[in-house]
Amino acid sequence: MNISLVGRHIDLSDAVKDHLMHSIDTLSKYHLDLISVNAVASMNERKKGVMIEFTINIAGKNTIVITQRDNDLYAAIDIAIDRAQKALRKLHDKMSDHKNGGGINEAKNAAAHAVDLHAASEAMEDEIVPTELDLYKPQEIGEVLERLKESGKQFEVFYDNEGKMRVLFKRTDGRFGLY
């Protein structure tokens, strides 16, 4: 990993450089392929403060840029490093969850194993219990409207008392529509 420390309109003392190097070293714990980390500390004359900017280049991924302003350079570094750690942790979790999820390889392995469809269908016949769905029972429009208001759903499909299939839905203006 290449590390670059730059000071604009500010001299970086050895203590600040050591703090920056130690902080940047903590970014390697996420086991990502970090190509380079550039740290630019600059003095802002108009706003009477300092700004630290980290540019983190990761192999095969987008570049992460973090900018932090503060009155104290050490505080700005610490806050920016915390933000960088959050971003790298999120990227690491996303990558590790994706790789361990199985996905297409899991489906290929399942398809490779021979399945006896006749035995599976016989086993399912014993477990099937017929039930009447609420969808087929006639319902009052008012009852469905109250249930829709209480739930977070956008629509409800039901049969009315005349046997017609109806759809009650929330409109964008806050009122309700009925098909």
**Full DSSP string of the chain:** -EEEEEEESS---HHHHHHHHHHHHGGGGG---EEEEEEEEEEETTTTEEEEEEEEEETTSPPEEEEEEESSHHHHHHHHHHHHHHHHHHHHHHHHHHHHT-HHHHHHHHHHS---HHHHHHHHHHH------GGGSB--HHHHHHHHHHSS-SEEEEE-TTS-EEEEEE-TTS-EEE-
Q: Are residues 143 and 86 both part of a single domain? A: no
- Residue range 141-160: average pLDDT? 87
How many independent structural domains does the chain possess? 2
Confirm if 155 and 167 have CB atoms less than 8 A apart: yes
Written as six digits, the tokens of 151 are: 């739930």
Higher pLDDT, 108 or 92: 92
Written as six digits, the tokens of 45 are: 């004359």
Tens digits of residue pLDDT in 24-78: 999 988 888 899 999 999 997 777 899 999 999 998 888 999 999 999 999 999 9
Give residue 134's pLDDT band: very low, low, confident or very high (50, 70, 90): low
Query: Which amino acid appears at position 10 of this protein?
Result: I
CB atoms within 10 A of CB 105: 10
Query: Which amino acid appears at position 89 of this protein?
Result: R
Lowest mean pLDDT among 66-70, 99-103, 139-143, 160-164: 99-103
Confirm if 84 and 56 have CB atoms less than 8 A apart: yes
pTM tops 0.75: no
- Last residue of a domain, which of 55, 76, 99? 99
The CATH number of residue 20's host domain is 3.30.160.100
Closest CA to 80 of 102, 60, 103, 64: 64
Q: Are residues 8 and 60 both part of a single domain? A: yes
Tens digits of residue pLDDT in 74-92: 999 999 999 999 999 998 8
Q: What does the pLDDT read at residue 87?
A: 92
The CATH number of residue 158's host domain is 3.30.505.50
From CA 147, how far away is CA 170, in angstroms rounded?
Answer: 12
Q: Is residue 46 part of a domain?
A: yes
Q: Is residue 117 part of a domain?
A: no
Q: What is the mean pLDDT of the chain?
A: 84
Q: Cα angle vertex 176, ends 172, 179, to 5°? A: 110
Domain extent for 44: 2-99
- Last residue of a domain, which of 49, 76, 99? 99
